[in-house]
C-alpha cells in the first residue's frame, strides 16, 4: 500500500506513529525536583478523582498541544492533574499552536501536516460507544451517562464493532483519558464509585479539563499549597496552561469538573486545599453537569468553518485552533451553509456537499453557481438558499433548484447584498433594503425598510431567536424581527471578511484576526490570527440543539 493511497485520516495516523519516538523521550525526561512519596490511602474521605491513590510517581515535563505542562508518571502512565491519563501522542510538541510552528514565517502554521498532527479528539457525531467491564455497577454508569445525555448532544451507545470506544473498568482509582484517543480507551472506576465521580470522568472523556486548573482561576480561588498532603500531590493543583488560556463562560463553582475544598489535604477535616477568594468554601457538585459544563461541551462540539486562501479550515470556537480540511476552494461564495453535520459550499462555480470532519467533497447537481450570494441554511428539510443571476433559489440536498418568488415578489433580485435563512424565512438585503421572504410561497412577507449599506455578514445567535445581527459598514446592528427596529451593539468592526454566530456568540474575521464577540457588550476576544485572506465563514449549529 502506497502512502498516497491512504485517506486523509490514515495519513494523520502515520504521522502520529512517527512521533512516538520523540514522545518517549519526553516521557523519560525527569524533572530534577521530582520526589517519590507515598499518599496514605486512609486520608481520602470522599471518593476523590485520583488515578492511582497511594501509588508513588515522578514529576515529568512535557508539551500538551504546544503548551509546556508538568505531569506525574505513575505505573508507566502520564497522569495529569490527578485523574487524566495523557497519551504519548498528546504529549508531543508539534501541534499547530506549538512554538515551533508559530515561529515559522508566513502561513506555515496552517500547513496540512501541522493540522494532521493535532487530530480531532472529539467523538464523531457526538456518539460515544461504550462497554461495561466485569464488576462495574451498571446502574451507576447508566445514571452518569443519562446526566450528560440530558444536557448535551453527546450520546452513548453500546459498542458493537466501532473502532473507537470507551470501556468502564473496575480499578484501584478513578481516571479517564482526555477526549477520543482512537481504539479502546478506559474510564477506570473504583469499587463503590458514585455516579457523580463517573460524570466527572466522562467529562474528561468528552474533552473537559478541570475547572480549578483554568487559566483565570487565581482571580476566583486560592490554593492553600501548605495544606496539600505532600509535594507530590501538588500536581493536582497545577494550571493547565501556564500562559494565557481560553476558558468558556465565567469560573463555575458548580462545575462537575471542580474538585472539593479538602481534596488532597493533610488534614481533610480542618485544612482546605482550595477556598474561594474570600476564604469561603463551595458546595461540591457531583449531582449533574452544570449548565456551564453543558454549554462548554456544546461549544467544543460545534465548529466554525473558514475558507482562507483557497483552503477550508475547521476552527474550534473555544480556542481558535484549526485543522486544514482541504485546499482547492476557488472563488467561494461568502457564506458556508450546514445541513445536519454536512457543509454546503459554492466554489469554483459549483455546489458541493463537504464532510465537515475530513473535508471530502461531492458535487451536487450541474448548475453553474459562480457569483452567487449565499449559500445559507439549511432549513430543517435540507434546503439551502442562494441568490444567483436575477433569482432567489431554493436548493435541495441533491442540488436541484426551484425559483422563489411570485406575482407579489420582486422579479429581479440582482443587486442582492446578502441572504440569510432563519426560522422558516429567507432574509434578503436587496440593494439597501431588508426583506423577509417566505421560503414556502416565495413571496415577500415583510419589508423592513432601507438603510442597509455595505453588508458584511448576517447571523442569528440561536435558531429560535427573534433577532438578527447584521453587520452594516463597521457596525453590528441587533435587529428585532418582531418590532422591525434595531440597536447598534458597541464597537466598530472594520475590514470584516465574514461573520457568523453559534451557541449564542458572534464570531467574525476583522483584518487578520478571528474574534469572538459578546453580542450584548460588543466586547471582543482574539481567538487566532493570520486570517487576512479569509473569503468565507460559516458554522455548525449543533451547539443550538
Q: Exposed, middle or buried: residue 113 (CB in 10 Å: 0-12, 13-18, 19+)?
A: middle
State the Cα–Cα distance between residues 314 and 325, nearest whole angstrom: 7
Binding piece for Zn ion, criterion CB under 5 A, among 49-57, 86-94, 102-110, 447-455: 49-57
Is residue 49 involved in binding Zn ion (CB under 5 A)?
A: yes
CB of 482 to Zn ion, least distance (A): 45
Q: Which of 201, 338, 342, 347 is catalytic?
A: 201
What's the helix, strand, coil split of the chain in %, to 5? 20, 35, 50
Distances (CA, A) of 342 to 116, 227, 370, 398, 538: 20, 51, 21, 13, 12
| Contact flags string 70-109 toward Zn ion, x per CB under 5 A | -------------x--------------------------
Residues in contact with Zn ion, counted by CB under 5 A, come to a total of 2
For the chain, the distance separating the N- and C-terminal CA atoms, rounded to the nearest angstrom, is: 42
> Is 212 marked within a binding site?
no
> Is 220 marked within a binding site?
no
CB of 531 to Zn ion, least distance (A): 34
Q: Are 313 and 306 in contact (CB under 8 A)?
A: yes
CB of 491 to Zn ion, least distance (A): 37
Is residue 263 involved in binding Zn ion (CB under 5 A)?
A: no
Residue in the shown chain whose Cβ atom is closest to Zn ion: 83
For residues 83 and 186, which CB has a smaller minimum distance to Zn ion in the complex? 83
> Is 204 marked within a binding site?
yes
Is residue 293 involved in binding Zn ion (CB under 5 A)?
A: no
The DSSP line for 198-257 is HHHHHHHHHT---GGG-TTGGGTEEE-GGGBS-SGGGGGG--S-SS----SSS--TT-TT
For residues 83 and 339, which CB has a smaller minimum distance to Zn ion in the complex? 83
For residues 64 and 384, which CB has a smaller minimum distance to Zn ion in the complex? 64
For residues 160 and 283, which CB has a smaller minimum distance to Zn ion in the complex? 283
Binding piece for Zn ion, criterion CB under 5 A, among 45-53, 98-106, 436-444, 481-489: 45-53
Known active-site residue 232: no
State the Cα–Cα distance between residues 13 and 17, nearest whole angstrom: 6
Binding piece for Zn ion, criterion CB under 5 A, among 43-51, 317-325, 430-438, 440-448: 43-51
CA 417 vs. chain centroid, Å, equals: 30
The DSSP line for 247-270 is -SSS--TT-TTPPPTTTTBSSTTT
Q: Are 396 and 388 in contact (CB under 8 A)?
A: no
CB of 98 to Zn ion, least distance (A): 25
For residues 16 and 239, which CB has a smaller minimum distance to Zn ion in the complex? 239
All three cell numbers of 100, joined, read 515551533
For residues 62 and 498, which CB has a smaller minimum distance to Zn ion in the complex? 62
Q: Are 477 and 522 in contact (CB under 8 A)?
A: no
- Which residues lie below 8 Å from residue 304, measured CB to CB, with a gap of 6+? 314, 315, 316, 317, 500, 502, 507, 514, 537, 538, 539, 540
Catalytic residue positions?
Answer: 201
Query: Residues annotated as binding site?
Result: 200, 204, 210
Query: Residues annotated as binding site for Zn(2+)?
Result: 200, 204, 210
Residues that bind Zn ion (CB under 5 A): 49, 83
Amino acid at each position: 500500500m502506497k502512502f498516497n493511497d491512504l485517506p486523509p485520516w490514515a495519513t494523520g495516523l502515520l504521522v502520529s506513529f512517527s512521533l512516538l519516538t520523540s514522545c518517549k523521550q519526553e516521557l523519560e525526561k525527569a524533572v530534577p525536583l521530582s520526589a517519590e512519596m507515598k499518599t496514605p490511602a486512609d486520608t481520602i474521605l470522599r471518593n476523590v478523582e485520583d488515578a492511582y491513590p497511594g501509588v508513588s510517581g515522578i514529576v515529568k515535563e512535557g508539551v500538551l498541544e504546544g503548551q509546556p505542562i508538568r505531569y506525574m508518571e505513575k505505573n508507566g502512565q502520564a497522569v495529569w492533574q490527578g485523574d487524566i491519563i495523557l497519551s504519548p501522542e498528546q504529549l508531543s510538541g508539534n501541534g499547530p499552536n506549538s512554538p515551533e510552528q508559530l515561529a515559522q514565517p508566513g502561513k506555515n502554521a496552517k500547513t496540512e501536516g501541522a493540522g494532521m498532527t493535532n487530530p480531532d479528539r472529539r467523538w464523531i457525531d457526538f456518539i460515544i460507544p461504550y462497554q461495561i467491564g466485569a464488576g462495574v455497577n451498571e446502574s451507576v454508569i447508566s445514571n452518569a451517562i443519562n446526566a450528560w445525555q440530558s444536557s448535551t448532544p453527546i450520546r452513548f451507545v453500546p459498542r458493537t464493532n466501532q473502532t473507537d470506544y470507551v470501556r468502564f473498568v473496575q480499578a484501584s482509582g478513578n481516571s479517564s483519558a482526555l477526549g477520543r484517543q482512537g481504539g479502546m480507551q478506559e474510564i477506570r472506576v473504583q469499587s463503590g464509585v458514585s455516579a457523580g465521580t463517573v460524570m466527572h470522568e466522562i467529562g474528561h472523556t468528552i474533552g473537559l479539563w478541570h475547572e480549578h486548573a483554568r487559566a483565570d482561576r487565581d482571580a476566583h480561588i486560592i490554593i492553600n499549597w501548605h495544606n496539600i498532603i505532600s509535594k507530590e500531590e501538588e500536581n493536582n493543583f497545577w494550571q493547565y496552561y501556564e500562559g494565557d488560556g481560553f476558558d468558556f463562560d465565567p469560573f463555575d463553582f458548580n462545575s462537575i469538573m471542580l474538585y472539593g475544598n479538602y481534596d488532597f489535604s493533610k488534614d481533610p477535616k480542618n485544612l482546605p486545599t482550595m477556598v474561594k477568594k474570600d476564604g469561603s468554601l463551595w458546595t461540591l457538585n457531583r449531582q449533574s453537569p452544570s449548565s456551564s459544563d453543558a454549554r462548554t461541551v456544546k461549544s467544543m462540539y460545534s465548529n466554525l468553518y473558514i475558507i482562507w486562501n483557497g483552503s477550508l479550515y475547521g476552527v474550534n470556537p473555544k480556542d481558535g485552533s484549526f485543522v486544514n480540511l482541504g485546499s482547492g476552494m476557488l472563488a467561494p461564495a461568502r457564506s458556508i451553509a450546514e445541513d445536519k453535520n454536512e457543509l454546503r459550499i459554492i466554489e469554483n462555480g459549483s455546489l458541493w456537499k463537504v464532510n465537515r470532519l475530513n473535508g471530502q467533497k461531492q458535487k451536487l447537481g450541474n448548475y453553474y453557481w459562480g457569483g452567487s450570494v449565499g449559500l445559507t441554511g439549511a432549513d430543517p428539510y435540507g434546503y439551502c438558499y442562494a441568490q444567483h443571476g436575477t433569482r432567489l433559489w431554493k436548493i435541495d440536498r441533491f442540488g436541484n433548484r426551484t425559483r422563489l418568488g411570485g406575482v407579489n415578489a420582486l422579479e429581479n433580485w440582482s443587486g442582492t447584498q446578502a441572504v440569510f435563512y432563519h426560522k422558516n424565512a429567507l432574509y434578503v438585503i436587496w440593494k439597501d433594503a431588508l426583506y423577509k421572504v417566505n421560503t414556502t410561497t416565495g413571496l415577500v412577507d415583510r419589508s423592513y425598510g432601507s438603510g442597509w449599506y455595505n453588508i458584511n455578514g448576517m447571523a442569528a445567535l440561536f435558531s429560535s431567536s427573534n433577532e438578527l445581527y447584521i453587520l452594516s459598514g463597521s457596525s453590528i446592528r441587533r435587529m428585532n424581527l418582531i418590532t422591525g427596529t434595531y440597536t447598534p451593539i458597541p464597537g466598530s468592526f472594520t475590514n470584516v471578511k465574514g461573520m457568523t454566530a453559534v451557541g449564542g456568540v458572534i464570531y467574525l474575521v476583522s483584518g487578520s484576526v478571528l474574534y469572538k464577540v459578546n453580542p450584548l457588550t460588543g466586547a471582543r476576544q482574539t481567538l487566532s490570527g493570520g486570517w487576512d485572506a479569509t473569503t468565507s465563514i460559516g458554522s455548525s449549529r449543533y451547539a443550538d440543539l
